[in-house]
Amino acid sequence: MLPAQVSEADAAEHAPHLYPVIISSPDSDPQTLSGVEMDWNPPNSLSCRTCHRVTAAEPTPPWSEDLRNFHMELTILHGDLTCGSCHDGDDHAELTMANGEEIGFEDSMRQCAQCHPHEMQSFEIGAHGGMRGHWDLTRGPRERDHCVDCHDAHAPAYPTQMPLFPVRDRFLDEAGADE
C-alpha cells in the first residue's frame, strides 16, 4: 500500500515497470516490382517516388507502359474504393486521410481505423489481430500483428484455407456426430 500522500514522482517510482506492446510496423517505403529487368540497382524493385514525382506535372517516364500494366495487375477488391481513396494524389509515397492529412505507409492503421472503427476498437481490446509474448506486461513484452499483416490493403478479404490438423475425435467417433 502506498502512503496516503504521495508525489507523482513517488507514484511513478512505485508503479511496476511495464514492458511494451510492439505492433509490427509496415514498410514506410514500399517498393514495387517493375516486372522489367533493369541493369541498375536495385534491380526490379522501385520506390514510388522513382516514377511518381512529388510534383504531379512531372512528365511520365518512358517505361510507363510496362508499369501501367503492372499496376493494373493489382487486384483492387476493396468495397468500391479507388486508388485515390487511400493514396495521396500529389505524393504517391504517402497515404491520405479523409481530411487530406498525409500519412506515411507505416501509419496505415490510422487509415484503416477511419473506415473500420469497430474492428479498430476490437483490435485495441485484443479481440481482433494476433499476438505473442506476455499477457502480464510486468514480466515481458507483447508483439502484435498489424492489419496489413493479415489483410492485403487492396484485396483485404481474409483468405480461406484448409484446416491444419487431422481430427480423429474419439468421443464423436464413438458417439456419432449427433450426440
Partner 1 sequence: MSDLTRRLLLKAIGGALGLAAVAKALAPLRADGEETTVEGFLRKSYRDLSPEEIQSLIVHLEEMTRRVHGVDVTIRDAPPIPGVEFGFALNLSVCTGCRACVAACHRENNHDRPSAESYIRVLEMTQGSLDLAHSTTTYDHPVPAPGKFYMPVQCMQCRNPPCVRACPVGATWQQADGITVTDYNWCIGCRYCEVACPYHARRFNWTTPEIPAAEINPDQALLANTLRPRGVDEKCHFCLHRVRDGRLPACLEACPTGARVFGDLRDPNSEICRVLAERRTFALREEAGTAPRFFYFFED
Interaction of residue 166 with partner 1, rule CB under 8 A = yes
CB 173 within 8 A of CB 54: no
Interaction of residue 130 with ligand HEC, rule CB under 6 A = yes
- Which position among 128, 146, 148, 152 is part of the footprint of partner 1 (CB under 8 A)? 128
CB-wise, 14 or 154, nearer to ligand HEC?
154
Please count the other Cβ atoms lying within 10 Å of the Cβ belonging to residue 91.
17
For 14-41, b/e burial (b = at least 16 CB within 10 A) is eeeeeeeeebeebeeeeebebeeeeeee
70 grid coordinates? 503492372
From the list 152, 114, 159, 158, the residue with the least C-alpha distance to 26 is: 152
Interaction of residue 115 with ligand HEC, rule CB under 6 A = yes
Stretch that binds ligand HEC, among 1-9, 12-20, 152-160, 169-177 (CB under 6 A): 152-160
CB-wise, 107 or 119, nearer to partner 1?
119
Stretch that binds ligand HEC, among 2-10, 11-19, 154-162, 166-174 (CB under 6 A): 154-162
- Which position among 149, 172, 173, 175 is part of the footprint of ligand HEC (CB under 6 A)? 149
From the list 153, 20, 141, the residue with the least C-alpha distance to 86 is: 153
- Which position among 53, 134, 148, 152 is part of the footprint of partner 1 (CB under 8 A)? 134
Interaction of residue 20 with partner 1, rule CB under 8 A = no
How many Cα neighbours within 13 Å face the side chain of 86? 19
| Residues shown for the chain | 179
CB 103 within 8 A of CB 117: no
Q: Which residues bind ligand HEC (CB under 6 A)?
A: 26-27, 30, 32, 34, 46, 48, 50-52, 60-61, 64, 67-68, 71, 74, 76, 78-79, 81, 83, 85-87, 89, 92, 95, 105, 108-109, 111-112, 114-116, 119-120, 123, 128-130, 145, 147-151, 153-154, 156-158
